[in-house]
Structure 1
Amino acid sequence: MSAPRISVLLPIYEVEDYIEDCLDSLLSQTCTDFEIIAVDDSSPDRSGEIAARLLAQQDRIPWKLIRNTDNKGLAETRKIAASEARGDYVLCVDSDDHVHRDLIRTVLREADQHDADVVIFAAEHVSPDGAVNARIDSGDCIITGVQAVQKLMGLELQAFCWNKLVRRSIFVAADHPCGLIYEDICVTVQTLASAKIVRLIPDSLYSYMFRESAISRRFNPRVVDLFVIIDRVEKRTAFLPIPDYKRLLFRLRYIFGYRTIAFHTAMTAPSYELARPILYSVSKKLRVKHLIGMYADGRPKLSVAMTMLKIHPWIFYCFVRRFNHH
C-alpha cells in the first residue's frame, strides 16, 4: 500500500468525553489520502480504549495507535507520532477538537498547487454549545517562511501547531521543547523559518473547543515557561533577515509574553498568595523603557496596567480581578 500524503498526529490524554467527536470529524473527511497516528499518552481515563474501538470499526482510513507506558506530555507525544508517520506532510490535531470535513482535501490541494512547505488556515474558538467565541484569521497570500516568522513575531499570525499543515521532514527536524508549556511557539517558529513557501488560506477548517475546565483556563504556575520559550525563540530568529527585528521581538516578548504571564496569573490564581511570586517575577523584569515601548506600540491601556504591576503586583492583581469580574 502506498504511503498517504498526510499524517494526522493525534495525541490522546483525558479526552474521553470528546475523542469520539474528534475522530468522527477525521473519519468523515471528503478526501481519504491521509493516515491517523494516534498516541495514547498514558491517559488515566478510557480515551485510548474509545479511540481504538472507533478506529478499528472502520477500514476507510489507515491508522496506528501507540501507547506510551508513562505520560510524556504534548511535545514528546507529537514527536513520537511524527516518528511513525509516513506522509509527506503532518497535521497536528488536538483530540478534544474537531475539524471541517474538507480539511484534508483543501490543505492538500493548496500544498500541491503552490509546492508549499506549510499551509496555514483559519480556525474558530467554539463553545460546547456550538457558539463561535472568536475567529483565528490567517489571511490569503503566499509568503516566504521568514516573512511568516515576521508575521508571527508581530502578532499577526498565531503560533498554534494545529492550524498548520507542515512538510514532515521540516516538522521532524524541529526541536520540540519537552517539559515546557507553550511549546507550540518554539515548534512553529522553527518550522516556518525552515520553510521556503508558506501558503495562507482564509478557509476556516478547524474548531478549537473552548471550555472553562480547559488547562488554559486554570491557574498554572508553569505559565512562567513563557520566559524560557521566548528566549529560545530569540536564539532561533536572531540570524533571520527580518526587517525591524528588535521592535517585533519586543512585541513578542513584552506585549505577548509578559502580558500573558501576568494577566493569566491574575485572572486564574485562587489567591494573591499563589499569584504573588509569578507577578513579582514579571515585575522585576519590567523596566520603564518597556512600559514606554508598550505605549509607543499603540497599547496605552496595557502600558497603564503593566505600570500598576511595576508599582506593586497587589495593585495589578486587584485591578485585573475587578476588571475580569465585571
Structure 2
Amino acid sequence: MPRFSVIVPVFKVQGFLRECLDSVLGQSYTDLEVIAVDDRSPDGCPAILDGYAERDARVRVLHLPENVGLGRARNAGLAEASGDYVLFLDSDDRYTPGLLEAVDARLTLGDEPDILVFDHVRTHWWGRGGRSEAADLLAAAGTDVVNVRESPQYLRLFLVAWNKAYRRDFFLEHGLRYAPGLYEDAPVTYRSMVLADRIVCLERIGVEYRQRRQGAITRTPGRRHFDIFPQYDGLFAFLEGRPELAWARPPLFERALDHMLFVLAREDRVRPADRPDFYREIRAFHARHLPEGFVPPEGWRGTEMRLLAAAPYASYAAARGLRELRRVIGGGGRKVTREVSRRAHRAWYAACSRRPLDPDLAVYSAFSHQGVLGDPAAIHAKARELAPRLRGVWVVREDAVAGLPPGTDFVTPGSRRFHEVMARATYWVNNVNWPGTLAKRPGSVHIQTHRGTPLKYMGADLLAKPGARYGVDVPKMLWRADRWDYSLVASRRAELAWERAYPCHFTSVRTGSPRNDVLVTAGPEATEAARARLGVPAGNTVVLYAPTRRDYRKGGHVDRIDLARFARDLGDGCTLVVRLHPSLAQGVARGMGLAELHRRGVLVDATDVPRAEDVLLAADALVTDYSSLMFDYALLDRPLVVHADDWGAFTASRGAYLDLMAEAPGHVTRFYGELAELFASGAWRDGESARRRRRFRERFCEFDDGLAAERVVRTLMLGEPMPGRAAGTGRVPAPAGPRSLPVAR
C-alpha cells in the first residue's frame, strides 16, 4: 500500500498534462500512486495518460464512459485509491519539487493527523504571482496540531481540494464525496475541516496554481455559477443533521455569505443581467440558514451581509456604487476627471446601443484607421460586389481622409456619428484591435483579419520577451481580442500561432488572406501596371528589399546592408525597390538617406506606397530578413532570399513561430558578400530556390487560392456555405465563448 494516492481528474488539458504528471512522478519521494481519471476528454489527453501508464507502473488510468465533471471524476479516482493519504491535483497545475517528501515528514511529526494543509502560489498566464493569503495562517500554526472549533480562523484557508492531504480512512469514514456542479470543493472542504480532530499545517508552497486565461470554468460568466447555492444548501443540511456541530454554523454561515458575495462581484462569473437574480438567491439562502445570534464581521463585507437581511438589489447596487465613487474621489482630481469622462462616454455609447443592430451595416478599419487598406479593403470590395445591400462605413483618422477613394463613406474616431455607427453595426472588420471603449453587442460579428501570417511572436507570447513587449499592455490587448468572433487564417500553421498568441474566445476560419487574392489571380498586366506606378523602367528586373524592425535596437531599426552598394552590385538592368516596415516609415527613411537615393534614381523608395500588394506585384525577387511579407510574396511563385545576419539576436529578443533557417522560402545569406554573390551568380533563381519556395507555400499558404474575400463575405456575412476547395465545404461553426463583453475600464 503506497503512502500517497494522488488523484488527477483530466479534461481538455493536453497542453498542460505532461507538465502536471511530471511534477508528481519526478518527486524525490517515490512511494506513491497516481490515479489519473480521464473524464471523457475529447482531445489528446487519453493517449497521453496511456503513454505514462505504459512507462511508469505507479500510474493507473481510469477512462470514464461519459463526461461527469470534476467532482464526480475525483470520486471515481478516490474509489480506486489505496494510499494512506489522498491528495487531489488539478491536471493543469503542478507540484513543486520536494513537496511530497516535506508532507511525509510533517505527517510523521504530527502523528498522522486527519488533514494536512500546505500553501500554493498562483501562476498567472502573464507571470507568477506573490505569496498567498493563507501564508500567515500556515506560519502561525507552526508545528502545532489545530482544530477549527478552537481556531475558527483556519476556515479561511483557501477553499480548494488540492492544497490538502487527507487521511484516506478519515475521508471514507465520514462519507466525504464531491457533488456535481461548480463550487464542489466548498461542502467537502468545510465538512472535513469541522469533522477533523487533528489538522496540521505545512508552511511550504506545494502547488503552482495555474491561472489560465481560458478554460477555467469558474472564470467563465454564466448561470452555472448559481451552482454555489445548492452546494452550500447541502453543507447546511449536513450540519442540521449533526446537533453536535451546532457551533460550526455561525462561522460557516459567514464563510458561505463571503463566498457568494465574492462571486456576485466578479464580472468574469456573474453577468450584469444575472446579478439581481443572484443577489435574490443569496438573500433566500440568508433567510433559510441564518443561525441564531449571528453577528456579521466588521468592515464592508459585514455591511453587505447586513444589507442582505433587509435591502433589495437596487439598494445593494447603490451602496456598492457609492463605495466605488468614494474610492475614485480619493484618487485625486485627475482620476475623477478621467472617470467622469469614461462614464459619460459609456453612457452615450450605451444610449446608442439601445437601438437595434442594423443587419446591413458593416464597419471597417485597417492599420489603426489609416485608410481603405489590407484585408478589410478586400472584404469591403467583395461585399459591394456580392451583397450591395451591405453598407460599408470606414473608420479613418482625420489626417488620412484626404487619401480615401472617391465616394467612401467614413467616420472619424470619437465623433458623434462614429459612436452611432459602432453601436449599430452588425459586422466589424479590422486587422488590428478596436478601441477598448467599445463594447461588443450580442448579435454583432467581429472579424479579425490580422496582417498576414505571423513569423515573430505576437500577443501573449510577448510575455516571455520583455524587450519586445516594452510599452505593450498584453493583458489589455487580449481583453480587447476577446471580442473577436472569427480569426482568418491562411494555413494550419498560422492557425496554431494565432490561437497560441491570442488565447481568446474566437473561432479560426480557414479562408485565406483576402488582400492576397490579387496576388493569386493577377496576370502579367497587373505586374506591368504596378511597375509603371513605381516608375520602374520597362524591361528591368526588380529586386524588392523589405526589412522588418528590430526590438533589440532603439527606434526599431538598424542598417543591415549598404543600399547604394547593393543597388550598384545588382548591375545594369536591375532596379532596387525598398519598403520599410510600416512602424519605421516616419523618420527612419530619411535617416537611411532613402529620400536622397530615391531622388538620385539609385533606388525606388516604396515605403509610403499604401498597398503592399502593389509593391509585391512589381518585384521579380524579394530580399527580406524576417518580414511577414515573405508569406504573401510566396504566392507569386517568384524567388525569395532571406538575409539573416542577426537571426540569433532577433529570435532571442522577439521569438519566432518557425525555424526560418530550416524552413526558409529560398536561399539564406548570413553576410552581405553572400547576398551579392547570390545575385551575381544567378543562384537566387535556381532549382533549389524553387524547391524551397514550393515547400514553403505548401506549409504556409495552403488556403490562399484567390477566393478568400468571397469566403469571408459568403460565410461570415451572408451565412452561405464555404466556397472553393482550399477551406473545405460546409458552414463555418458558430463563434465560441461569451458574446457580450463590457467596455474596458
Structure 2 SS opposite 1:83: helix
> 2: distance between equivalents of 1:66 and 1:122?
29
Instruction: Give the C-alpha shift of residue 283 in structure 1.
Output: 5.1
Structure 2 SS opposite 1:108: helix
Match for 1:252 among 222, 231, 255? 255
Quick check: 1:117 aligned with 2:117? no
Matched with 2:566 is none
After superposition, the Cα gap between the structure-2 partners of 1:83 and 1:177, relative to the gap in structure 1 and judged at 3 Å, is: closer
AA of the residue aligned to 2:163: N
Matched with 1:233 is 235
Q: Structure 1: any 5+ residue segments left out of the alignment?
A: none
Task: Count matched residues.
Answer: 313
- Bigger relative contact order, structure 1 or 2 (CA pairs below 8 A, ≥6 apart): 1
Matched with 2:189 is 188
After superposition, the Cα gap between the structure-2 partners of 1:73 and 1:91, relative to the gap in structure 1 and judged at 3 Å, is: same
Matched with 2:72 is 76
After superposition, the Cα gap between the structure-2 partners of 1:181 and 1:35, relative to the gap in structure 1 and judged at 3 Å, is: same
Match for 2:23 among 25, 28, 37? 25
Instruction: Give the C-alpha shift of residue 220 in structure 1.
Output: 3.1
Given that 2:257 and 2:305 are in contact with CA atoms closer than 8 Å, whether structure 1 keeps it comes out as no
Q: Structure 2: any 5+ residue segments left out of the alignment?
A: 329-741
> 2: distance between equivalents of 1:16 and 1:71?
16
Query: CA deviation digits over 1:154-194, x for unaligned, max 9?
Result: xx222211000001122234342432321112112233344
Matched with 2:681 is none
Quick check: 1:101 aligned with 2:104? no
Given that 1:10 and 1:95 are in contact with CA atoms closer than 8 Å, whether structure 2 keeps it comes out as yes
After superposition, the Cα gap between the structure-2 partners of 1:262 and 1:38, relative to the gap in structure 1 and judged at 3 Å, is: same
> 2: distance between equivalents of 1:75 and 1:146?
24
> 2: distance between equivalents of 1:159 and 1:269?
19
Matched with 1:90 is 86
> 2: distance between equivalents of 1:317 and 1:299?
14
Matched with 2:163 is 163
Instruction: Give the C-alpha shift of residue 131 in structure 1.
Output: 1.4
Given that 1:83 and 1:172 are in contact with CA atoms closer than 8 Å, whether structure 2 keeps it comes out as no
After superposition, the Cα gap between the structure-2 partners of 1:250 and 1:189, relative to the gap in structure 1 and judged at 3 Å, is: closer
After superposition, the Cα gap between the structure-2 partners of 1:76 and 1:286, relative to the gap in structure 1 and judged at 3 Å, is: closer
After superposition, the Cα gap between the structure-2 partners of 1:321 and 1:212, relative to the gap in structure 1 and judged at 3 Å, is: farther
Instruction: Give the C-alpha shift of residue 224 in structure 1.
Output: 2.0
> 2: distance between equivalents of 1:221 and 1:273?
10
Quick check: 1:178 aligned with 2:174? no
AA of the residue aligned to 2:9: P
> 1: distance between equivalents of 2:84 and 2:96?
21
Choose 229-238 or 181-190, whichever is displaced more: 229-238
TM-score in terms of structure 1 length: 0.82
Instruction: Give the C-alpha shift of residue 295 in structure 1.
Output: 9.5
Choose 65-74 or 207-216, whichever is displaced more: 207-216
After superposition, the Cα gap between the structure-2 partners of 1:306 and 1:211, relative to the gap in structure 1 and judged at 3 Å, is: farther
Across the aligned residues of Structure 1 and Structure 2, the Cα RMSD in angstroms comes to: 3.4
Matched with 2:370 is none
Given that 1:118 and 1:164 are in contact with CA atoms closer than 8 Å, whether structure 2 keeps it comes out as yes
Choose 191-200 or 91-100, whichever is displaced more: 191-200
After superposition, the Cα gap between the structure-2 partners of 1:219 and 1:205, relative to the gap in structure 1 and judged at 3 Å, is: same
Query: CA deviation digits over 1:47-79, x for unaligned, max 9?
Result: 12112223433x3x6110010010111121111
> 2: distance between equivalents of 1:313 and 1:42?
45
User: What does residue range 1-12 of structure 1 map to in structure 2 within 5 Å?
Assistant: 3-12=1-10
Given that 1:121 and 1:200 are in contact with CA atoms closer than 8 Å, whether structure 2 keeps it comes out as yes
Instruction: Give the C-alpha shift of residue 311 in structure 1.
Output: 4.3
AA of the residue aligned to 1:162: W
Matched with 2:277 is 277
Match for 1:223 among 204, 207, 225? 225
Structure 1 SS opposite 2:100: helix
> 1: distance between equivalents of 2:202 and 2:312?
41
Instruction: Give the C-alpha shift of residue 147 in structure 1.
Output: 3.6
Given that 1:8 and 1:93 are in contact with CA atoms closer than 8 Å, whether structure 2 keeps it comes out as yes
AA of the residue aligned to 2:169: S
- Percent identity of equivalent pairs: 23
Matched with 1:40 is 38
Query: CA deviation digits over 1:96-134, x for unaligned, max 9?
Result: 001111111111111122221211101111113441155
Given that 1:177 and 1:183 are in contact with CA atoms closer than 8 Å, whether structure 2 keeps it comes out as yes
Choose 207-216 or 183-192, whichever is displaced more: 183-192
AA of the residue aligned to 2:11: Y
Instruction: Give the C-alpha shift of residue 313 in structure 1.
Output: 7.8
Instruction: Give the C-alpha shift of residue 6 in structure 1.
Output: 0.5
Matched with 2:297 is 297
After superposition, the Cα gap between the structure-2 partners of 1:152 and 1:113, relative to the gap in structure 1 and judged at 3 Å, is: closer
Query: CA deviation digits over 1:281-312, x for unaligned, max 9?
Result: 3356668xx9xx99951222662698598341
Instruction: Give the C-alpha shift of residue 274 in structure 1.
Output: 4.3
> 2: distance between equivalents of 1:16 and 1:248?
40
Structure 1 SS opposite 2:67: coil
Given that 2:220 and 2:268 are in contact with CA atoms closer than 8 Å, whether structure 1 keeps it comes out as no
> 2: distance between equivalents of 1:187 and 1:247?
17
> 2: distance between equivalents of 1:312 and 1:294?
25
Structure 1 SS opposite 2:312: helix
Structure 1 SS opposite 2:27: coil
Matched with 2:206 is 205
User: What does residue range 59-70 of structure 1 map to in structure 2 within 5 Å?
Assistant: 59=56, 62-70=58-66
> 2: distance between equivalents of 1:56 and 1:145?
42
